Amino acid sequence: MPEDHAHAQARDASPKTRSLGFSTRMSHAGRAGTHVHGFVNPAVHRGSTVLFPNCEARREGAKHRFEQYMTYGTQGGPTHYALEDVIAEIEGGTRCLIVGTGLAACTVPLQAWLKSGDHCLVPDSVYGPVRNFCEGLLKGWGVETTYYDPVVDEAGMAALIRPNTKVVYTESPGSHSFEIQDIPAIARAAHARGCTVMTDNTWGIHHFMPFEKGVDVSIQALTKYVGGHSDVLLGSVTVNNEADWKTLRAAASQLGQYASPDDCWLALRGVRTMAVRLKRQERSGIEVARWLSARPEVQRVMHPALPEHPQHALWQRDFSGACSLFGVVFQPRYRLEDVTRFIDSLALFGIGASWGGFESLCIATTGNITRTAGTGEFGGPMCRIHIGLEEPADLIADLEQALARLAG
């Protein structure tokens, strides 16, 4: 069965755009092009059953299970393919799998590369639900996980790798505490022992090019900046060679992983404006983070783009920019209840999980962090802040009035 014509045009055009700027590529990738007759945006293609003209054509389809080829709804259609192409373009990879949530994007590759008796290395700063998965289903299946200090160096990583270590998982920066990992060094140590390197690159979307730094499997929660409007749940897994693609795609098919084409369409719409949102939110995030770092109530701000961040030099080396999510450690004289009162006093910041949308958010993180490798001492109660598209001056004024209530 031939590909959708508009999608085929979009795929043909993609390599020609690689030398263009990011904003330009996000405006043109994954759609039919400019000199065509039709709507600007591709249509939403929904469906379960795929019809074939005859039995031979259906038998032929089985040969294309690793390609963008419609055989059944769970294998995707033109809307999925367009988003796959756009995310692969952003990540710098060759093939991309779209799944229903960001957490599924984390867990599917772990299931694809690990089996009973294997060992996995995961940073102590990892996204909490990934730790839950490792301690739950993976442990039940006979996979052992060791949590390592996220700022480990190459020699330290090499010392942690066992004969049965198959996956080295990374997340840079770390959830809640924002440690930047030395991914190239970790990848060198891992590859020397035949391990697959995975990274949760959600914070680093566009700013960190994973495959240039030695990563084999790159994970994105498209719920965040790609969706951009806090109304979609999606994830992606991108790889950079055919062998890894077959491992990933086979596992996803066996698990029945699927994403709604309507959500894929919303993500395609979101990605058109992502470049300008990222730039604006990066600038606003740094402005607010700098203001907070000068406040007497604050011990430190955990934002990798600030010069005082312990891994700022690594961020400068490996990233081209920053997103607008960071952590704040308050002075040790304050308690969690004080931070709770501060957050409850904010008028422009929502209290809720996730980030990457147009709205600013703030949540308390003290008491919600699990650490088992001795990396859990932060010096004071903490919160996590996401800066949206509001005016920074308005956000700063809101933070200032809430800080006045910090001490009751």
> In this predicted model, what pLDDT tens digit does every residue of 260-287 receive, in sequence order?
999 999 999 999 999 999 999 999 999 9
Looking at the predicted structure, is the pLDDT value of residue 13 above 90? no
For residue 20, what are its two tokens?
């263009």
Cis peptide before 173 (omega within 30 of 0): yes
Decide the pairing of beta strands 119-123 and 144-148: parallel
pLDDT at 299 over 70: yes
- What are the C-alpha distances in Å from 274 to residues 27, 42, 270, 324? 9, 18, 6, 13
Q: What is the pLDDT of residues 307-320, one digit of tens each?
A: 999 999 999 999 99
Q: Which of 10, 147, 144 has its CA nearest to residue 80? A: 10
Structure confidence at residue 4 as a pLDDT band (50, 70, 90): very low
CB-CB contact of 31 with 40 (8 Å): yes
Q: How far apart are CA 297 and CA 374, in angstroms?
A: 26
pLDDT, tens digit, 9 for 90 and up, residues 199-217? 999 999 999 999 999 999 9
Per-residue pLDDT for 38 more than 80?
A: no
Q: How far apart are CA 248 and CA 149, in angstroms?
A: 27
Least confident range from 101-105, 124-128, 371-375: namely: 371-375
Beta bridge partners of 122: 147
Q: What is the pLDDT of residues 386-403, one digit of tens each?
A: 999 999 999 999 999 999
